[in-house]
Structure 1
């Protein structure tokens, strides 16, 4: 977990492009063969610790997710709908808690069981299993790339949810400790959008 510790201690902000591949649990198809289904999306990502991030999904379904430190905004462009939630507690067992929330490994260990998960594809993997079993996330794996002994960047995330769905986010063109514009983590609902506050 040394790479994760270095990442948390030295990385205050960052931005990257990402590709996400979601593998849905297999279902019976013709005959009795069970076939897993996948879907892919891509976009851009930025974060600033503590507690701020922005995911912009460009294709195939445009969507923006922004956490400004207090509020979590989810904008579905096709539906012209914005879901607004308090950020407190909403992100506890998500990748965002690992990237943008925790100050150090000790803080993470209060919510996760952490274990080194070996090296693969040029990344050092750490497995994080939420201690609270009632959440949607069963397990997270974070893949980190050691750029130097004192700099580690985010390479990938793998998320397994309670329904058996697996999501793999792969990051490219990562800029560590990038200077981000002040409005990166602000969100203003578009005119005419339906606002939902569950």
Structure 2
């Protein structure tokens, strides 16, 4: 029996799936000003083809309902498009993708939702830009945002807007080029903000991006 993802998840997860994992078709490369180009090149050098782990705090705001949900956890990223998000909030769950398959596991409910990542990534092996940093240059128009002595902000606008993703704002630490803050916004004004701490670039067993349900786990297929 198949269910739509949005019918089975709370608003925070719905925003997360639709806004963080979405990608858009590629268009011609943008000509960047010198400072913006330097920052983009810096984060590409920092993140491209790298694996990293970070703690995160997520604030998901539904504007129409005036509701904000807070969650915390730990996340793993690897190129291309591999991610694992483990939430330790009251809504305990894991989101895992190897870039092709997607699993959403709720251990307390002994339930896992399984689906093809392609409908959510809108490409066969695409992923969030943190797991494939070159997507910034390929798929977004990049403009400078707020800046200071030790940080800069980039505003990313999809070259083809979708209802799920209208804009991404990322904060870049200087001169290290780490990205501690990612804020995504859809066309309805719903905003999801991620704050990443304890960022560690290192290798690890990439089997964590695979998931095998234990015997007796309820399996739900996603459309």
TM class by shorter chain equals 0.7 to 0.9
For 2:193, the equivalent position in structure 1 comes to 168
Following TM superposition, where does structure 1 have runs of at least 4 consecutive aligned residues deviating by more than 3 angstroms? Answer: 76-81, 107-110, 120-123
Give, in angstroms, the shift of residue 69 of structure 1.
2.6
For 1:31, the equivalent position in structure 2 comes to none
Q: Distance in 1 between matches of 2:46 and 2:56?
A: 21
For 1:15, the equivalent position in structure 2 comes to 53
Tell me if structure 2 keeps the 8 A contact 1:123–1:144: yes
Q: Distance in 2 between matches of 1:121 and 1:57?
A: 33
1:124-181 CA-to-partner distances (Å, cap 9, x unmatched) read 21111112223411111111212x4xx42120110112332111110111112x1212
Q: TM-score, normalised by structure 1?
A: 0.79
Task: Work out the number of aligned pairs and report it.
Answer: 181
* Unaligned runs of at least 5 residues, structure 2: 1-35
> Secondary structure of the residue that 1:195 maps to in structure 2?
strand
1:68-117 CA-to-partner distances (Å, cap 9, x unmatched) read 13212222345443232323352259xx5211124x3xx53442111121
* 1:124 aligned residue (152, 155, 171): 152
CA RMSD of aligned residues (A): 2.4
Q: Distance in 2 between matches of 1:123 and 1:141?
A: 13
For 2:68, the equivalent position in structure 1 comes to 38
Tell me if structure 2 keeps the 8 A contact 1:138–1:160: yes
The change in CA–CA distance for 1:14 and 1:155 in structure 2 (over 3 A counts) is same
Q: Distance in 2 between matches of 1:167 and 1:57?
A: 15
Q: TM-score, normalised by structure 2?
A: 0.71
For 1:52, the equivalent position in structure 2 comes to 82
Alignment of 1:3 with 2:46, yes or no, is: no
Q: List aligned pairs for 1:1-198, cutoff 5 A.
A: 1=36, 2-11=38-47, 12-27=50-65, 36-88=66-118, 90-91=120-121, 96-102=127-133, 104=134, 107-119=135-147, 123-146=151-174, 148=175, 151-176=176-201, 178-191=202-215, 192-198=217-223
- Give the structure with the larger helix fraction: 2
For 2:11, the equivalent position in structure 1 comes to none
- Give the structure with the larger strand fraction: 1
Give, in angstroms, the shift of residue 5 of structure 1.
2.2
Give, in angstroms, the shift of residue 24 of structure 1.
2.0
Q: Distance in 2 between matches of 1:122 and 1:98?
A: 23
For 2:22, the equivalent position in structure 1 comes to none
